[in-house]
A = this chain, B = another copy of it.
C-alpha cells in the first residue's frame, strides 16, 4: 500500500512543497492523517509498513516522517535507527496507541521531534509536523552548504590540501615551505591555487571555510 498526494494536484516532485511520509498499518489512520496534512497544503506519502518506505524514493524537498511505534515487522524505535544508518536523517514524529514513558524517552533521546499518544488532537500533530519540517529545512540547508564546500575542497590536489592546512593554521609561506620541503615560491603558487579553487579572495574567508570543513593540523 503506497499512496501519495500533493495538496493542490501539483507535481508530486515539486521541491518547494514540504512533504510528510506517514507509516501506519491502519488504513483508516493513514486516510485521516492524509486528509489532515493536506488541509495545510502539505504533500503526503502514505506507507503501510517500514519496508515500503525504505523501498520508496522520498522527494528532494523539506519533509518529515510520521511513524507509529508499533509497526508490522520492526519496532518503530529500531526503524528510527535504521533510517539514520541509511542516511535518511528526516525528522521523525512518533505516534502510539499503547506507548509508555521509557519508549517515549528513548525516541526523544534518539532525536525524535515529538511523541504523540493516540488519540491526539489534530493541532498537536500539525504543530509537531510543522516543527519537524522546519528542522529538516535547517538540516538540509546546512547539508547543502557543506556539500558545496566539500565539492570545492575536492577539486584541490593533495599538495594544495597540505598547503591549505598549514596556511589556515596561521603559518607563513616560508614555514610551510620548510615543513613540506619546498621553496617558498612553490608554496605561494599552491596557495594561490587554493584561494582560487576554494572561491575565496581573503584569508579570513578561507579560514572560515576550513573551519566549516573541520580541517585541523
Residues of A bordering B, CB below 8 Å:
99-102, 104-105, 108-109, 114-115, 117, 167-171, 201-205, 207-208, 211
Contacts and interface: CB of A to CB of B under 8 A. Distances in A.
A interface: dominant SS: helix
A201 B104 contact: no
A210 to B, nearest CB: 8
Contacts of A114: 105, 109
B102 A105 contact: no
Contacts of A203: 170, 203-204, 207
Contact of A204 (B99, B105, B115, B207): B207
B170 A204 contact: yes
Given A108-B108, A211-B211, A204 B169 contact: yes
Contacts of A202: 170-171
Contacts of A101: 99-101, 104, 115, 117
A209 B167 CA distance: 16
A169 B115 CA distance: 43
A80 to B, nearest CB: 14
Nearest to A115: B105
A204 B168 CA distance: 6
A203 B168 CA distance: 9
A175 to B, nearest CB: 11
Contacts of A108: 104-105, 108-109
A101 B100 CA distance: 7
Nearest to A202: B170
Contacts of A115: 101, 105
A170 B211 CA distance: 15
